Structure 1
Amino acid sequence: MDLPGKARAHVDSGALFTELARLVAYPTVSDAPEGRAAVQAYLDEVLTPALTGLGCQVTQHANPDPAGGPFLVGVRTEDPGLPTLLCYGHADVVGEAGQWGEGRSPWTLTAEGDRWYGRGTADNKGQHLINLTALRLVLAERGKLGFNLKFLFETGEEIGSPGLTEFAAQEKALLAADVLIASDGPRLDAATPTLFLGARGGVRIDLDVDLRPGGHHSGNWGGILRNPATTLAAAIASLVDGHGRIQVPALLPPELPGSVREALADVVVEAPDATWGDPRLTPAERLYGWNTLEVLALGAADVDRPVNAIPGRARAVLQLRYVAGTDVDGIAPAIREHLAKRGFPMVSVRTETAFLASRTPVDDPWASWAKSTLDAVAGRPVALLPSFGGGLPNHVFTDVLGLATLWLPHSYPGCRQHAPDEHLLVPVAREGLVLATALFDAFSSAPPTPRR
């Protein structure tokens, strides 16, 4: 049986399900104190044996940031003259956000039709298990990989990857490689194999209009006392209009590069609301190549039990999802200046950056190699996305380690990651294992590409 056939058989035999069930059973929630013990057990009992089984020397490293958990690195060196592949995954999952349907437990893998339910099935245990399995299949077939392998696991991606940037900077020699191949996030859709080259970043924007303690009677004071809720609503509308279009040029990238526009020309994204967003851009360009400003939370007083009073304070949390090229350091000053010019100096602005935006150029030789390899195996064009719509620590690999980054997701947009009933879709997992196996198998003969 050829490698693609062996990959399909591994899924269809139930072997992947059995192994994933064991991984899901570890409640590795990174933002809960009780999750730390599960994270450590997952590293010791699951990932270390998996990497050792691939012939890796495994080391565990303390996190330079006390807010984060440890890092695990496996290194298999076949020949210093061979190319070196760096892989990445994260061992942690999010906590619970409501009840799972049909009495399902998030820590028990449950098969229902083509869906395997369980926390971490899509984000990220199922995805890094597929890649580990693909490497095992290649090694078993060849008796060697034909390249050097490094695999980095972190344990705090769901809380913003604390310490990962510092760790990578300290351990550049340990993590040195020719390219990163990793899996996270969803495909374009369930039917379309996808390769993406980077990720949008995220900036949280807190707006606060704190004018006075307590409320004041709306009849006795209405018309002469500034309303913080009305002020805040107008301030937000001056930043992003009622159709989702950003109104402040400083919150946008300088341009949509021609290479990005070309890469997204054939990418079809079904927009639920055709009137939402910048009409000059296609839905794919808005989602994968441009910035969006969203209101995540907005409040004043008690909306469920309002009283006849002008509130004293109103607050909102916004989020800018941004692509590479945006002046992140200038966001807060630009918003303050914009609001002051429009008569809203009383709106305080505080920003906090999560993941930074970064991407490998669309015309990078590694991107061309990966797409042509995957196209041939998939038997149809693989979607090439300049950036993933969400956030990932891609900048650590591009900006700190100087690597081209290739992300091959093994999930799909409807997987419900971070929500109840997270699941892995079996057809996507099966094809994902075939694609990952083929890509790793082809890596040993990839054309030499100078390191950055």
Structure 2
Amino acid sequence: MIPQSLRLKAENHVDSGALRDDLARLVSYPTASTTDEGRVALKAYLDDVLTPMLTELGCTVTEHPNPDPSGGPFLLGTRIESPELPTMLCYGHADVVDGHSGRWSDGRDPWTLTVDGDRWYGRGTADNKGQHLINLTALRLLLTETGSLGFNLKFLFETGEEIGSPGLAEFAAAHREALRADVLIASDGPRLDAATPTLFLGSRGGLNFELDVDLRPGAYHSGNWGGVLRNPATTLAGAITTLVDGHGRILIPGLLPPGLPDPVRTALSGIAVANSPGDPAPDEGWGDQDLTAAERLYGWNTLEVLGIGAADVDHPVNAIPGRARAALQLRYVSGTDVGAAERALTEHLAAHGYPMVGVRVTSEFPASRTEIDGPWPRWAHGVLEEATGEPVAVLPNIGGSLPNSVFTDLLGIPTLWLPHSYPGCLQHAPDEHLLAPIAREGLVLATALFHALAGKASR
């Protein structure tokens, strides 16, 4: 159990405004990884902010070049207290998305922390500066309180998560020993909702692909040629409905997971989806109705049409278009075999009378998860419930994506993600914010988890 003195220090660090002031400094660095200016700010953020914070924790800090020229450098802080102690790897990303200056409410500047009640506005407050700041602060509080961490620490920062983590897998493969650890504890993504402390163990993957019905170079008059020439838009609509029906149910078995494991089903029982004010209400009858909303979101696959078009919808003419295209995405859970997805889609469409529909996979990010009934998740769940005195939601993965597979599949490390944000935080959009009550509770929970890891090591 977290000592009362340590809990009070964590709570006071937020109540006093110290955490908010620290976050204001972090937000002031416009570290967008999509711009030249942002990449300059990222270098300054590593040098001026993260390196001193890691050094204060007694870490040896090294900066490493990215093996992928499209990505930025990596920063690794390492503190080894004893080879006999367990080693925890932490992770965070220093980059943010574009600030969307001029689009924030009430004239807010994305690079200036603005407080409005419990909301702390600014780019990166939720994704990911606020989250890694909370964990760095929890480690500092523990070290100050006890004089040691009681475990070995490795803290990895990347600078390109928002552009797909280029080079992260290659870097990890080349630095296996430097990153070797018993467990990863990190923070990113949202809680289940604002009120529910959450632990998640991985992320869904994504397979993006394009359907292209390119029948002829030009359009032909619909009166003169209707009923004779195949309409590519009609063809495209029909092809899509052989993959996913009008109620969101996937119809091609090869795009489904092998099943819903019993431990996942048990963990998701009683989980309520869209439980925060302002969340959209789940649509009745959408998706596989043999599954609960939580099972569909966290334990199953979905196939979404992200964009579709033919000709000029805003200014149509009386002509049959020559081409129609759609962008689709399969969000999939661990265990789904997507290795032959392009071929399976092509063969499926041909078998259903649509050989003229081209299929092209455009991008993919893998799904991964730590086993939900494994020893590390059970340990963390118990620690967090004891610390908060409330039920803690344990999710097999979040609905979105993170580079979790680098840690689970490449490095073989069990992963525990303790998010300090919530679904309504508006990350990646104007008015991104961190909720002060979540930051306060999150700092207590992170401190409790790190303190318990030291206790686990001493037993």
* Alpha-carbon distance between aligned partners in 1 of 2:253 and 2:308, rounded to the nearest angstrom: 23
- Give aligned pairs, total: 449
Q: Give the alignment partner of residue 57 of structure 2, picking from 50, 54, 57.
A: 54
Q: Quick one: percent identity of the two aligned structures?
A: 71
2:41 is paired with a residue whose SS is helix
Contact 2:85 2:457 in 1 (8 A): no
Other-structure match for 1:388: 398
Other-structure match for 2:320: 310
Q: Give the alignment partner of residue 198 of structure 2, picking from 172, 194, 201.
A: 194
- 1:369 pairs with 2:402: no
- Report deviation, 1:35: 1.4
* Alpha-carbon distance between aligned partners in 1 of 2:248 and 2:115, rounded to the nearest angstrom: 39
1:62-73 to 2 correspondences below 5 Å: 62-73=65-76
- 1:10 pairs with 2:13: yes
Other-structure match for 1:144: 148
- 1:439 pairs with 2:443: no
2:227 is paired with a residue whose SS is coil
1:153 is paired with a residue whose SS is strand
Other-structure match for 2:42: 39
* Alpha-carbon distance between aligned partners in 2 of 1:121 and 1:112, rounded to the nearest angstrom: 13
Task: Letter of the 1:352 partner, please give it.
Answer: T
* Alpha-carbon distance between aligned partners in 1 of 2:30 and 2:99, rounded to the nearest angstrom: 10
Task: Letter of the 1:19 partner, please give it.
Answer: D
Task: Letter of the 1:424 partner, please give it.
Answer: L
- Report deviation, 1:354: 3.2
1:282-361 to 2 correspondences below 5 Å: 282-361=292-371
Task: Letter of the 1:5 partner, please give it.
Answer: L
Other-structure match for 1:83: 86
Task: Letter of the 1:269 partner, please give it.
Answer: V
1:66 is paired with a residue whose SS is coil
* Alpha-carbon distance between aligned partners in 1 of 2:99 and 2:42, rounded to the nearest angstrom: 16
Q: 1:95-118: per-residue Cα shift (whole Å, max 9, x none)?
A: 145711111111111000110111
1:280 is paired with a residue whose SS is coil
- Report deviation, 1:348: 0.9
2:424 is paired with a residue whose SS is helix
* Alpha-carbon distance between aligned partners in 2 of 1:333 and 1:245, rounded to the nearest angstrom: 21
1:41-190 to 2 correspondences below 5 Å: 41-97=44-100, 99-190=103-194
- Report deviation, 1:430: 0.6
Structure 1: where are the runs of 5+ without partners? Answer: none
TM-score by length of 1: 0.97
Other-structure match for 2:277: none
Q: 1:263-296: per-residue Cα shift (whole Å, max 9, x none)?
A: 1112121452121111000000001000001111
- Report deviation, 1:447: 6.2
* Alpha-carbon distance between aligned partners in 1 of 2:181 and 2:458, rounded to the nearest angstrom: 12
* Alpha-carbon distance between aligned partners in 1 of 2:370 and 2:62, rounded to the nearest angstrom: 29
- 1:250 pairs with 2:260: no
* Alpha-carbon distance between aligned partners in 2 of 1:272 and 1:448, rounded to the nearest angstrom: 46
Contact 2:298 2:396 in 1 (8 A): yes
Contact 2:263 2:372 in 1 (8 A): yes
* Alpha-carbon distance between aligned partners in 2 of 1:157 and 1:244, rounded to the nearest angstrom: 30
Q: Structure 1 segments of 4 or more deviating over 6 A?
A: none
- 1:219 pairs with 2:223: yes
- 1:26 pairs with 2:26: no
2:58 is paired with a residue whose SS is coil
Contact 2:11 2:440 in 1 (8 A): yes
TM-score by length of 2: 0.96
Contact 1:160 1:354 in 2 (8 A): no
1:329 is paired with a residue whose SS is coil
Q: 1:29 to 1:355 in 2, by over 3 A?
A: same
* Alpha-carbon distance between aligned partners in 1 of 2:301 and 2:341, rounded to the nearest angstrom: 12
Other-structure match for 1:424: 434
Other-structure match for 2:278: none
Q: 1:369-391: per-residue Cα shift (whole Å, max 9, x none)?
A: 00000000010110000111100
Contact 1:210 1:312 in 2 (8 A): yes
Contact 1:369 1:446 in 2 (8 A): no
* Alpha-carbon distance between aligned partners in 1 of 2:363 and 2:404, rounded to the nearest angstrom: 14
* Alpha-carbon distance between aligned partners in 1 of 2:365 and 2:13, rounded to the nearest angstrom: 35
Task: Letter of the 1:246 partner, please give it.
Answer: I
Q: Give the alignment partner of residue 203 of structure 1, picking from 186, 202, 207.
A: 207
1:297 is paired with a residue whose SS is strand
* Alpha-carbon distance between aligned partners in 1 of 2:297 and 2:342, rounded to the nearest angstrom: 23
Task: Letter of the 2:412 partner, please give it.
Answer: G
* Alpha-carbon distance between aligned partners in 1 of 2:287 and 2:118, rounded to the nearest angstrom: 34
* Alpha-carbon distance between aligned partners in 2 of 1:448 and 1:396, rounded to the nearest angstrom: 29
Structure 2: where are the runs of 5+ without partners? Answer: 275-280
Task: Letter of the 1:26 partner, please give it.
Answer: Y
Task: Letter of the 2:245 partner, please give it.
Answer: D
Task: Letter of the 1:147 partner, please give it.
Answer: F
* Alpha-carbon distance between aligned partners in 1 of 2:38 and 2:243, rounded to the nearest angstrom: 39
- Report deviation, 1:259: 1.0
